[in-house]
């Protein structure tokens, strides 16, 4: 399975988050899956990719070349696709991935999450989306989304994403346990 990770590339993330991302990468590799990610070598992306690579796993980085001016790109990817824009990058994530994990991140991660969830809502894909809620990072966002539904701003007829607090819970969702 090709598992796409959305998450921050920041170099200033607390270790509790990057340790969990590393553990996720280890598990992706050990289960024989491929990591699809934004190609960053730092933050959540870099930690997850290190977990994959240090356990002989495979990864596919997708990024515009110019993003290297903002954050270093991972040089250990099994494969790397260079694109021209962030929109093209997100389209490649959708094309190349079987499931999506949203780890802690900033504005870019939220952009990716809300686009992929919107596309699922609009029946453009039916792939699993899992919010990796490390250390309750996304509690307020989840609460806001629930309130939007309670107040009638969202249709509640289907579950668009699942929430996991641990790596084990992620794979329980992915493996249907």
Contact residues for 43 (Cβ-Cβ < 8 A; gap 6+):
7, 8, 9, 10, 11, 13, 18, 71, 105
Domain 2-172: CATH class, spelled out: alpha beta
Mean pLDDT of the chain: 95
Contact 52, 25 (CB under 8 A): yes
Specify the 3-state DSSP secondary structure of 107.
helix
65 CB-side CA count, 13 A: 2
Q: What are phi and psi of 43, to 5 degrees?
A: 65, -150
Contact 58, 87 (CB under 8 A): no
Per-residue pLDDT of the chain (177 residues; tens, 9 = 90+): 999 999 999 999 999 999 999 999 999 999 999 999 999 999 999 999 999 999 999 999 999 989 888 888 999 999 999 999 999 999 999 999 999 999 999 999 999 999 999 999 999 999 999 999 999 999 999 999 989 988 988 876 568 999 999 999 999 999 986
Contact 167, 24 (CB under 8 A): yes
Task: For residues 145 and 148, give the distance between their C-alpha atoms in angstroms, rounded to a whole number.
Answer: 5
């Amino acid at each position: 399975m090709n598992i796409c990770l959305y998450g921050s590339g920041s170099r200033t993330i607390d270790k509790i988050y990057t340790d969990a991302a590393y553990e996720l990468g280890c598990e992706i590799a050990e289960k024989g899956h491929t990591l699809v990610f934004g190609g960053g070598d730092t933050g959540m992306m870099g930690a997850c990719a290190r977990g994959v690579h240090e356990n002989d796993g495979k990864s596919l980085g997708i990024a515009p070349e110019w993003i290297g001016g903002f954050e270093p790109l991972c040089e250990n990817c099994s494969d790397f696709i260079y694109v021209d824009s962030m929109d093209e990058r997100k389209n490649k994530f959708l094309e190349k991935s079987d499931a999506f994990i949203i780890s802690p991140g900033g504005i870019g991660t939220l952009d990716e999450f809300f686009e992929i969830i919107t596309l699922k809502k609009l029946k453009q894909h039916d792939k699993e989306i899992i919010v990796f809620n490390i250390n309750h990072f996304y509690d307020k966002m989840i609460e806001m989304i629930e309130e939007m539904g309670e107040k009638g701003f969202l249709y509640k007829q289907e579950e668009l994403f699942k929430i996991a607090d641990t790596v084990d819970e992620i794979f329980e969702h992915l493996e249907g346990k």
